[in-house]
Amino acid sequence: MERTALFDSSGHYRYLLGRRWQAGGQTVAFVMLNPSRADAACEDPTLRACIQFAQRWEYAALSVVNLFGYRTPHPEVLKAIADPVGPENDAYVLKAAATANRVVLAWGNQGCLRQRDRAMLTLLAPYQPKLSYIALNRSGQPRHPLYSQRSLPLQSFPLVEVL
């Protein structure tokens, strides 16, 4: 498996995580809340769940980008950080969306922190035909892959109804 991860020079922000298990083929991008422990050398439970979904949907590779680039296994830390997004985060989200065949929104209930869910939906509006989700939480936010049944199909995200 080909493994990639892109961090800022401080190592505090991870902007992109990638895995490729098959040459050629299509790529799916997951947009989640924030990076945790996964990097180029190791997977965490969330990345393993994303890989399982991507393989089930017959993709050859995946990329992971986030609403917030700040790397922490504790999302509540994002509230205390002056800049949890990171200066290059949105550029990498756009690049992932542009190069992926499908973009899965999957940030969970905390996406509304600092209204990043709204900002991200506006940022991704040009990619509306690619936007999907696995399931929605009661709050209407796209469910995180770790808490979703692996048998669920992708559904198109109704961006116009949300914005």
pTM: 0.96
Tens-digit pLDDT profile for residues 7-20: 999 999 999 999 99
In sequence order, the β-bridge partners of residue 7 are: 14
Tell me the backbone φ, ψ of residue 122, rounded to 5 degrees: -65, -45
The CA-based angle 43-55-142, given to 5 degrees, is 75
Give long-range contacts, CB 8 A cutoff, 24+ apart: 51-55. Answer: 51/19, 51/21, 52/150, 53/28, 53/104, 53/134, 53/145, 53/148, 53/150, 54/28, 55/21
Average pLDDT for residues 95-102, to the nearest whole number? 99
How far apart CA 34 and CA 83 sit, in angstroms, is 13
Average pLDDT for residues 54-80, to the nearest whole number? 97
Q: Band of the pLDDT at 158, cuts 50, 70, 90? A: confident
Average pLDDT of the chain to the nearest whole number: 96
Count how many residues are written for the chain.
163
The answer on pLDDT for 37 being more than 80 is yes
- pLDDT score at 122: 96
Please count the other Cβ atoms lying within 10 Å of the Cβ belonging to residue 79.
10
Average pLDDT for residues 125-148, to the nearest whole number? 95
- pLDDT score at 38: 96
